Structure 1
Amino acid sequence: MFKLLSDTFIINEIIDSNTSEALLENEISISENMPDIEKIISTEGKIKINSVTVHNNSVTVNGDLIHNIIYRSNDEDVSVASMSGKINFTEEIPMDGATEDMDAQVNSFIDYIDSELLSEKNFLIKAVANIDVDLIHKRPVDFISSLESDGSFQAKTKNIIYTDIVSHSSEDITVNDSVELNQSTDKIKSILKSDCDAYITNVDIMNDRMLVEGICKVGFLYTEDNNLSTTGYVSEEFPFTHYIELKNSNSDMLRDINVTFNDLSYTIDENYDDEDKIVSFTANFTIDAKLYDTVEKNIILDGYSTDSEIEIDSSKINLVSTRSIKDVITKYENNFDVMTGAIKDIYTIDISPKVSEKRVFDDKYVVDGFLDVNLLYLNGDVNKIDRAYVSMPYTTTVDLSDEEKDCDIVSDVKISKCSAYRKGNNSVVVNCDIKIDMKMKKSDEISIISNINEIGPIDYGKMPSLIFRVVQQGETIWDIAKNYSVSINYLKELNELSEDEALIPGDKIIIARKV
């Protein structure tokens, strides 16, 4: 006789992963009051995911391609102008096994974007957006953790240790401030392009609260209100501090903190001299914080009774545990030559990473790829804004411990603190931080027992009173004891086996039926 004792743990199973390419193309007309397009200088964009819906065997992702073009004009009053807009898209991605009660994690980036001039008032935008989807099933799993028995039930147990998300918070924060042009510049006529980058500098946990400190960097490319419609750029960094409530938290927990830029709005305002030299802005971004704690559970993997025939309900699950999280920053510097005109001034630089390969080699985690660099500069030969584009190779390496080498490594590459300076008339030196966000995970496929039923007593009368069993390759004392429904301790005593003695193939084991 026995009494079952149950327990529950929550698992997050990755059911399926898939990648889709959304091909975006749209013909756009500028308004009649905008200057005609002579030449498109720059085409940039970003992907904003609006909604993610899980259906049976598919996931639907809805989003926008938010684009900005900068172009030259033959207009005497406006030599350079810009236009922004968005292209909505909906992509249905096949996902085997998807059901409506599951969640989907989506990561998207622009793999390619460009524009084609069709006429003085029309252009065509072409883009390819990569959409990576992980289908996740978060569900409770009931299992038999222990039992109360009169000694007839033999249990094979295992102590499992895994990590679980004990606290998760996602909060939008806003930075309201302004940047001001210096006295030597002319006042602002129009904003051609806005930039915003946010990154975390420090995280502290105290009294169920997380303090997140970071930097919000904004920049504005603008035209000056003068006869030449010259171009300028102003940028500034703004520190921010934000508290997040996280229950049951402590400083020893694994933490995964990310900041994502959402939106930037601005207005042109007057300074104390009544000149349009101030750009007031509102930057909105999201801080996503997860805390992981170590959970220890005892589970029964297998069992049998020495008195009764039993029926076991069991199933296999893949238990994924996050063992460690690390963020590694590599300082990157490289240079390239501009092929069109002499560089008089550098305005903006945008850098986006592409990953070619991730691998573990010689106790290191290695990421190879390319940095797509988009540079806007003042072409001194024509005294107008121009663009240079180059793809630069990079390699980052992260030292791994012995434990980390045996883990499945999930990583993401991010770029921050981008800058560039001129070296000579045609060469540009590029600097940035390459940040590798890494999660070390372990997968353990385990068999869990959800129920045990007694069918009836074992008929020992049909068994021989004495058996000599030859041990087979890979066979354990548990396997033999279970096969003949005798207790492990009885079998060890009968064969004079020590507590931790392993069986050797070819040895004989005596199995005597108790009368």
Structure 2
Amino acid sequence: MELLKKNIRMTWQKAKAVTQITLEEDRNVPDSRPDTESIIQTKGVVRLEEVKSSQGQIHIVGYLEVHILYTAENEAHTLHRLETKLPFDEMLNMEEAQAGDSIDLEKEIEDLNVHLINSRKLSIQAVVTFRASISDLYDAQAAVELHGVENLGTKTREIRPLSLTVQTRDILRVREEIPLASNKPNIGEILWENVQLRGTDIRVLDGKLDVRGELFVFVLYNADDGSGARQWMEAALPFQQILELSGAAPSNVPDVEIDLSSASIEAKADYDGEPRLLGMEAVLELSIRLFQEETVEILEDVYTPDMELIPQRKEETYESLVVRNFSKCRAGERMRLEAKKPRMLQICHSQGEVKVDDIRAEVRGLKVEGAVYVTILYVTSDDAMPFALMHGNIPFQHLIEVEGLNENCRYLLRASAEQLSATMIDSEEIEVKAGIDLNAFVVEQHKENCVFAVESQPLDLERIKELPSITGYIVQPGDCLWDIAKEWHTTMDRIREMNHLEGPIQPGMRLILSKKIGMGAQEA
């Protein structure tokens, strides 16, 4: 007797933990830089140098890279850039953690404030949140066939498990050269840059992954013409790369997270030797999981009139796909400058970050609420402060339609800005419109008592002798041929043959049943 089993590869979250750290340091302005008059813009990037698990703890080492754009305290009010690093070494307690665990670590800068102590010293304060989780792989097993048994009757049930086929991480590098427009002066010094990842799309090919998207680039620079004029430019750079990925198949269901890990921009010479090219290199980190949706007939029960078969069962958990939904929503808002802010002459650049505040499961699907946090750099009418920054947020809400959503479902939502536009209404007001991508991955968790072994023992002949040799039976609602055969100790084939059945049985049908017993189908 041989029992064949189906393995369903699963991943489950063993543990998760959240910690928040506060970084606070003072930094002197380097001697090579002029005195600081006012701060225009700041940005921070969390760089991880080591993430290591041990018994009950996760060790996180890295630094916060802080960039500062400021106006100098001189007659020309020139713009300058500062960069500094705030190191951290944090132990995150996680009781279930063990040495060698694979760790998923999300990092988010909750707050970053830089203010002047004096013209030569800055105070930097930041709050960084780390969300760590540890997942394990395991195989759920369910019997699908039993071989080596005479006169076997099987009762099966159809399930549609989502099995993990590929889980890995990888890196893509996108390199582009951006030429300056002919009416722009040569590049002297790059003062500020911003690179945003938008509109990503993942397609699974045979043994490959097709990664597409757009990098939206902004650069502010000093002209190299002796005038000290500030210039800026924006460019949308579409990209497509093919990533080799063993085990990938077009039928896979992808769950891929793409993160813009870092981006650098430098001035480069063109064919004439003039600094009129911007060389950009972006590093994209990919967390890849590919699933295969299958239809599997698992054994629910087994029976033969030749011996007693006793299925051994245990509870297994598996997941099935409910929906993979790609939604888009629009949001817009008018924003006014604060009274203390200088008036606006021209918009330089706008950027937005999508944050989801709440996700609620409703009858029709997932109700998502959040906001796009917008930052706008603009040219002012104040010569003492040539550039200024405007902040605001655009609230949004959207219903992601999900049929079959219930309390056993779990979901993963990724939100990002697809596009962002800002238009001046007047010197004090801006209209901002945003397009938001909402990608939902919803699965339902099931618990099944699966057969994992079958024991056999001799028939209870005394009990079988009590059954009549031939019985008349009227089919009841809910009856199936397999249950009738097992109860009256016969086989489905024998019932079909004796009653000339060609189709399924129906309630009210009259059947003649003849019991069958012993090896070789010996009649009692």
TM range (shorter): 0.7 to 0.9
Confirm or deny: 8 A CA contact 1:16 1:96 kept in the other structure: no
Instruction: Kindly report which structure 2 residues correspond to 1:38-49, keeping only aligned pairs within 5 A, or say none.
Output: 38-49=37-48
Instruction: Kindly report which structure 2 residues correspond to 1:412-451, keeping only aligned pairs within 5 A, or say none.
Output: 412-451=414-453
Inter-partner Cα distance in structure 2 for 1:108 and 1:448: 40
State the Cα distance separating 1:91 from its structure 2 match: 4.4
Inter-partner Cα distance in structure 1 for 2:194 and 2:59: 30
State the Cα distance separating 1:346 from its structure 2 match: 1.9
Inter-partner Cα distance in structure 1 for 2:10 and 2:183: 57
Amino acid at match of 1:124: S
The alpha-carbon distance between structure 1 residues 322 and 49, as it changes in their structure 2 partners (threshold 3 A), is: farther
Inter-partner Cα distance in structure 2 for 1:458 and 1:58: 57
State the Cα distance separating 1:234 from its structure 2 match: 1.4
Inter-partner Cα distance in structure 1 for 2:272 and 2:244: 44
Inter-partner Cα distance in structure 1 for 2:39 and 2:8: 53
Inter-partner Cα distance in structure 2 for 1:226 and 1:38: 25
The alpha-carbon distance between structure 1 residues 18 and 485, as it changes in their structure 2 partners (threshold 3 A), is: farther
Confirm or deny: 8 A CA contact 2:56 2:98 kept in the other structure: yes
**Alignment: residue pair count:** 496
Amino acid at match of 1:5: L
Inter-partner Cα distance in structure 1 for 2:48 and 2:154: 50
Inter-partner Cα distance in structure 2 for 1:40 and 1:320: 52
TM-score, structure 2 as length reference: 0.77
Inter-partner Cα distance in structure 1 for 2:192 and 2:177: 18
Inter-partner Cα distance in structure 2 for 1:28 and 1:70: 16
Inter-partner Cα distance in structure 1 for 2:255 and 2:453: 36
Which of 387, 390, 394 is the matching residue for 2:389?
387
Confirm or deny: 8 A CA contact 1:167 1:249 kept in the other structure: yes
SS of the residue corresponding to residue 132 of structure 1 reads strand
* Partner residue in 1 for 2:214: 215
* Partner residue in 1 for 2:375: 374
Inter-partner Cα distance in structure 1 for 2:58 and 2:464: 57
The alpha-carbon distance between structure 1 residues 157 and 372, as it changes in their structure 2 partners (threshold 3 A), is: same
State the Cα distance separating 1:25 from its structure 2 match: 0.7
Which of 5, 8, 19 is the matching residue for 1:7?
5
Amino acid at match of 2:234: S
Inter-partner Cα distance in structure 2 for 1:282 and 1:403: 44
Confirm or deny: 8 A CA contact 2:150 2:306 kept in the other structure: no
Inter-partner Cα distance in structure 2 for 1:200 and 1:351: 14
Inter-partner Cα distance in structure 1 for 2:27 and 2:353: 28
* Partner residue in 2 for 1:121: 120
* Partner residue in 1 for 2:319: 320
Inter-partner Cα distance in structure 2 for 1:97 and 1:152: 49
The alpha-carbon distance between structure 1 residues 83 and 416, as it changes in their structure 2 partners (threshold 3 A), is: farther
Identity %: 16
* Partner residue in 1 for 2:510: none
Per-residue deviation, residues 14-41 of structure 1 (Å, max 9, x unmatched): 2345351322313142422222233323
Amino acid at match of 1:183: N
State the Cα distance separating 1:229 from its structure 2 match: 4.6
Deviating more after overlay: 374-383 vs 224-233: 224-233
Amino acid at match of 1:442: E
The alpha-carbon distance between structure 1 residues 440 and 379, as it changes in their structure 2 partners (threshold 3 A), is: same
Inter-partner Cα distance in structure 2 for 1:320 and 1:121: 59
Confirm or deny: 8 A CA contact 2:179 2:277 kept in the other structure: yes
Confirm or deny: 8 A CA contact 1:157 1:300 kept in the other structure: yes
Inter-partner Cα distance in structure 1 for 2:117 and 2:465: 92
State the Cα distance separating 1:427 from its structure 2 match: 0.8
Amino acid at match of 1:334: E
Confirm or deny: 8 A CA contact 1:179 1:235 kept in the other structure: no
Inter-partner Cα distance in structure 2 for 1:89 and 1:451: 53
SS of the residue corresponding to residue 294 of structure 2 reads strand
Confirm or deny: 8 A CA contact 1:327 1:435 kept in the other structure: yes
TM-score, structure 1 as length reference: 0.79
State the Cα distance separating 1:461 from its structure 2 match: 6.3
Confirm or deny: 8 A CA contact 1:179 1:236 kept in the other structure: no
Q: What are structure 1's unaligned runs of at least 5 residues? A: 467-474, 503-511
The alpha-carbon distance between structure 1 residues 259 and 23, as it changes in their structure 2 partners (threshold 3 A), is: same
Inter-partner Cα distance in structure 2 for 1:103 and 1:323: 27
Amino acid at match of 2:235: E
Deviating more after overlay: 175-184 vs 373-382: 175-184
Amino acid at match of 1:26: E
Confirm or deny: 8 A CA contact 1:200 1:259 kept in the other structure: no
The alpha-carbon distance between structure 1 residues 247 and 94, as it changes in their structure 2 partners (threshold 3 A), is: same
State the Cα distance separating 1:224 from its structure 2 match: 4.0
* Partner residue in 1 for 2:175: 175
